[in-house]
Chain A
């Protein structure tokens, strides 16, 4: 073959040309720039414009950062240092150094107790681990369950025996539930059901009777003068009459319903354990922990809720409220789907009411209005009130997100669960919720991130969280008035780090749970 064209063609290449690099304009960074930044007139103009803005911004900001003063005791001193060094612009980061403790821990938390907060935070990572990453050993969940009690002790101080006793009573309550629901024979349970039915029926009737008297008292103290008072008077009287009329029938009805549940044990075990838990907390809690504490005192310096502050307060509120509102939200979402009209009605009214009210209003109610309703010396902690309000608020939103997930499940999933013979609890736990929650992850994370940032709203009700600390004591101190960019920038950075981590985690989790392309 090689000499076929020997007479007709002057030259035939017999070896392959070695590979040469692509032209300089079509490779590497140059190609990327040409394709992505200068691929046309319009894009070129945009690129140059953006470049101009970025450079101007950098020229503006970089010296400010670079000249930053880290050591000074007041803003005046900062300005003097900059002036002496002949620098026109410069940040006064000294405020962060000077007030670091205040920004992070609040200005009243005892300084020798900072390690407690740090330890609680580190343990939080350990405790949250098994809940967030399924690859970690399941046994670590035991620590997660124990963590809230430990963290409470570390942050608030006092006696270790208080949270331990609470934990013990919770376990005892759960044992009572198991005992009545599955451990004792039916004929004994029948007797137990009868006794508890009588107690609860009589108790409820008595409560309604007292409530009716209270309503009459309120109606009479409201009076009938003015525009609105007669309406309130009428409403309170109608409620009172209802309570009077129905106190005995309601008692009998509920008592009988409890007695009647002796065969499957559902209702009676719930009621009995609630009753037990209530009595235990009222009558056993303080004697037990005080006795234990007098035998073996394990105490940390107690810190009042009012003394919490800084970013720690945001973390505290964020963590507690997110972890409480997700289970509550799941319950509300399931309740809203329930075929039972009473449960469904309560859930719908609750969700719609909470979603219709701004969070700041709820916080004002927690801070200001509740103070009117509670006796002056009542020991109802401000942080606890705020936690309850934020939790209720976000649980309503999470409930709606999860309801979206439930609605997105094909009806076949519910029917398949039924056809396997699973009861409601099993079907929900094993089939429905895992799928619904997977769909809901982006929405839940969205709510969680929003909630975490909303915790700064407590600064409006004069709690010194990070923002409250900046707006209040720091900017109004004689040394640091008119320091803005440094402190707010620092706050923004802290929040960004936390919120960005949460969103990265949720994206990772979505990829982990993605089962659609196997």
Chain B
């Protein structure tokens, strides 16, 4: 006879909460698709193009993981999430991986029980003001009205910054980035604050970009990275090392152009281990030997992905800055493939 659905569901929920939802890898393989949480749209980071295909810097991480696991960078079901629904979507198992420019913080890692698999973009919170306001430093902003997105770390950083400098401000809470820009241009607030990368990207689209300035202060550390659930370390390893493979490939000079050539075997043992011609790294992860090659085959290495989506040649026009390889004075650094 029919068992009560509700009671059954409660039981299942209890079992899930107990952390028995291991083997995400098997689930993804059985499904044939990776469920990847992305934003509902941030220029350059995740946006569907005119033909409905998701593009962007975060999207590239999803595609690389899908390629490493399933061998196909298009085997991804992109699940759009908002700032409010992203964590429940991940915790409930609706998505396997969340790549949604999410700041790595203590409480999200520990209290919300997630596992950040690395950092794919080092950001910091900045301020934008109209030039005619004549403000040179964020410390001159006493009494300003500030447009801010709700439910984000930027909201908390802002409060911390103004309290630490004992100056007052009036927040104008806004739901999405696009609305915040509109309010700012319409003059509803004197200052717009969010991650410096987003400020630069949005200013590039203003009718008159030169009428607005970014203040020199960067008031927070915003390491943005993809994350997975606690409790499935194998899956976290796969995601973490796929991201590291993209980063290491740039350092080692493996690009989408010379990928085929190098995967035939090289003099450099680390490239050989990365591309699976030497050693057993793939099988340690439970994947094919060519997992990293597949991940790199989608859109190239970290540097190429950066330049394609948000680099200086794109409308977003971000410089590498902190996100350069450690060898070039940046923070992007992958542990060795050994």
Q: Is B85 an interface residue (CB 8 A)?
A: yes
Give a binary string over B48-83; 1 marks a CB under 8 Å from any A CB, 0 the rest: 111010000000000000000000000001011110
**Are A482 and B12 interface neighbours, CB within 8 A?**
no
When distances are taken between beta carbons in the complex, the residues of chain A under 8 Å from B94 are 371, 376
Q: Give the residues from 304 to 318 in chain A that come closer than 8 angstroms, CB to CB, to chain B.
A: 306
B77 to chain A, nearest CB (A): 7
**Are B7 and A476 interface neighbours, CB within 8 A?**
no
Q: Is B9 an interface residue (CB 8 A)?
A: yes
Alpha-carbon distance A206/B2, docked complex (angstroms): 10
**Are B185 and A482 interface neighbours, CB within 8 A?**
yes
**Are B12 and A374 interface neighbours, CB within 8 A?**
yes
When distances are taken between beta carbons in the complex, the residues of chain B under 8 Å from A473 are 40-41, 47-48
Alpha-carbon distance A368/B82, docked complex (angstroms): 12
Q: Is A418 an interface residue (CB 8 A)?
A: no
**Are B1 and A206 interface neighbours, CB within 8 A?**
yes
When distances are taken between beta carbons in the complex, the residues of chain B under 8 Å from A218 are 7, 10-11, 14
Q: Is A129 an interface residue (CB 8 A)?
A: no
Q: Give the residues from 256 to 296 in chain B that come closer than 8 angstroms, CB to CB, to chain A.
A: none
A79-B207 contact, Cβ under 8 Å, with A371-B89, A371-B93, A462-B80: yes
A481-B92 contact, Cβ under 8 Å, with A278-B2, A374-B9, A476-B41: no
When distances are taken between beta carbons in the complex, the residues of chain B under 8 Å from A375 are 9, 12, 16
Q: Give the residues from 172 to 186 in chain A that come closer than 8 angstroms, CB to CB, to chain B.
A: none
What is the total number of residues of chain A having a CB less than 8 Å from a CB of chain B?
47
A476-B21 contact, Cβ under 8 Å, with A217-B11, A462-B81: no
Q: Is A245 an interface residue (CB 8 A)?
A: no
When distances are taken between beta carbons in the complex, the residues of chain A under 8 Å from B49 are 477
When distances are taken between beta carbons in the complex, the residues of chain A under 8 Å from B315 are 76, 478
Alpha-carbon distance A217/B13, docked complex (angstroms): 13
Q: Which stretch, A207-215, A256-264, A292-300, A503-511, touches the partner chain B?
A: A207-215
When distances are taken between beta carbons in the complex, the residues of chain B under 8 Å from A372 are 13, 16, 88, 91-92
Name the contact of B4 in the complex, choosing from A211, A460, A461 (C-beta under 8 A). A211
B24 to chain A, nearest CB (A): 9
**Are B4 and A214 interface neighbours, CB within 8 A?**
yes
Residue of B nearest to A475 (CB): B178
B111 to chain A, nearest CB (A): 17
When distances are taken between beta carbons in the complex, the residues of chain B under 8 Å from A471 are 40, 176, 178-179
Residue of B nearest to A98 (CB): B50
When distances are taken between beta carbons in the complex, the residues of chain A under 8 Å from B89 are 368, 371
Q: Is A108 an interface residue (CB 8 A)?
A: yes
A482-B7 contact, Cβ under 8 Å, with A368-B85, A376-B21: no
B211 to chain A, nearest CB (A): 14
Give a binary string over A9-44; 1 marks a CB under 8 Å from any B CB, 0 the rest: 000000000000000000000000000000000000
When distances are taken between beta carbons in the complex, the residues of chain A under 8 Å from B16 are 372, 375-376
A207-B40 contact, Cβ under 8 Å, with A218-B14, A373-B12, A471-B176: no
- Looking at A371, A377, A474, which has the most chain B CB atoms within 10 Å of its CB? A371
Alpha-carbon distance A468/B316, docked complex (angstroms): 23
When distances are taken between beta carbons in the complex, the residues of chain A under 8 Å from B80 are 462, 464, 472
What is the total number of residues of chain B having a CB less than 8 Å from a CB of chain A?
55
**Are B85 and A461 interface neighbours, CB within 8 A?**
yes
When distances are taken between beta carbons in the complex, the residues of chain B under 8 Å from A214 are 4, 7-8, 10-11
Alpha-carbon distance A475/B177, docked complex (angstroms): 9
Residue of B nearest to A377 (CB): B27
When distances are taken between beta carbons in the complex, the residues of chain B under 8 Å from A108 are 52
Give a binary string over B126-156; 1 marks a CB under 8 Å from any A CB, 0 the rest: 0000000000000000000000000000000
**Are A368 and B88 interface neighbours, CB within 8 A?**
yes
**Are A481 and B181 interface neighbours, CB within 8 A?**
yes
A367-B85 contact, Cβ under 8 Å, with A306-B77, A464-B80: yes
**Are A107 and B88 interface neighbours, CB within 8 A?**
no
When distances are taken between beta carbons in the complex, the residues of chain B under 8 Å from A207 are 1-4
Alpha-carbon distance A292/B13, docked complex (angstroms): 37
A99-B50 contact, Cβ under 8 Å, with A218-B14, A472-B40, A481-B205: yes
Q: Is B233 an interface residue (CB 8 A)?
A: no
Alpha-carbon distance A253/B48, docked complex (angstroms): 59
**Are B93 and A376 interface neighbours, CB within 8 A?**
yes
When distances are taken between beta carbons in the complex, the residues of chain B under 8 Å from A215 are 7
B19 to chain A, nearest CB (A): 13
From DSSP, what is the main secondary structure of chain A's interface residues? Answer: helix
Q: Is B231 an interface residue (CB 8 A)?
A: no
When distances are taken between beta carbons in the complex, the residues of chain A under 8 Å from B223 are none
Alpha-carbon distance A306/B6, docked complex (angstroms): 24
A271 to chain B, nearest CB (A): 14
Q: Is A156 an interface residue (CB 8 A)?
A: no
Q: Is A484 an interface residue (CB 8 A)?
A: yes
Residue of A nearest to B314 (CB): A478
Alpha-carbon distance A337/B47, docked complex (angstroms): 52
Name the contact of A373 in the complex, choosing from B4, B13, B91 (C-beta under 8 A). B13
A469 to chain B, nearest CB (A): 9
**Are A221 and B14 interface neighbours, CB within 8 A?**
yes
Q: Give the residues from 348 to 371 in chain A that come closer than 8 angstroms, CB to CB, to chain B.
A: 367-369, 371
A99 to chain B, nearest CB (A): 7
Q: Is A75 an interface residue (CB 8 A)?
A: yes
Residue of B nearest to A375 (CB): B12
**Are B21 and A477 interface neighbours, CB within 8 A?**
no
**Are B206 and A482 interface neighbours, CB within 8 A?**
yes
**Are A211 and B7 interface neighbours, CB within 8 A?**
yes
Q: Is B166 an interface residue (CB 8 A)?
A: no
**Are A210 and B314 interface neighbours, CB within 8 A?**
no
Residue of A nearest to B38 (CB): A462
Give a binary string over B177-196; 1 marks a CB under 8 Å from any A CB, 0 the rest: 11101100100000000000
Q: Is B202 an interface residue (CB 8 A)?
A: yes
**Are B40 and A477 interface neighbours, CB within 8 A?**
no
**Are A476 and B43 interface neighbours, CB within 8 A?**
yes
A482-B205 contact, Cβ under 8 Å, with A371-B89, A374-B9, A471-B178: yes
A478 to chain B, nearest CB (A): 5
Q: Is B300 an interface residue (CB 8 A)?
A: no
When distances are taken between beta carbons in the complex, the residues of chain B under 8 Å from A403 are none
Q: Is B226 an interface residue (CB 8 A)?
A: no
B305 to chain A, nearest CB (A): 15
When distances are taken between beta carbons in the complex, the residues of chain B under 8 Å from A217 are 11
Q: Is B225 an interface residue (CB 8 A)?
A: no
27 contacts between A and B (CB under 8 A): A107-B48, A108-B52, A203-B1, A207-B3, A211-B4, A214-B7, A214-B8, A214-B11, A218-B7, A218-B10, A278-B2, A368-B89, A371-B89, A372-B16, A372-B88, A461-B82, A464-B40, A471-B179, A472-B40, A473-B41, A473-B48, A476-B40, A476-B42, A481-B178, A482-B181, A482-B182, A484-B178
Closest 4 pairs (CB-CB, A-B): A476-B41, A472-B40, A376-B93, A107-B52
Q: A75-B205, A484-B182 known; 12 other A-B pairs, CB under 8 Å? A: A207-B3, A210-B4, A217-B11, A218-B7, A368-B89, A377-B31, A471-B40, A472-B40, A475-B41, A475-B178, A481-B181, A484-B178
Footprint of B on A, CB under 8 Å? Answer: 75-76, 79, 98-99, 102, 107-108, 203, 206-207, 210-211, 214-215, 217-218, 221, 278, 306, 367-369, 371-377, 460-462, 464, 468, 471-479, 481-482, 484
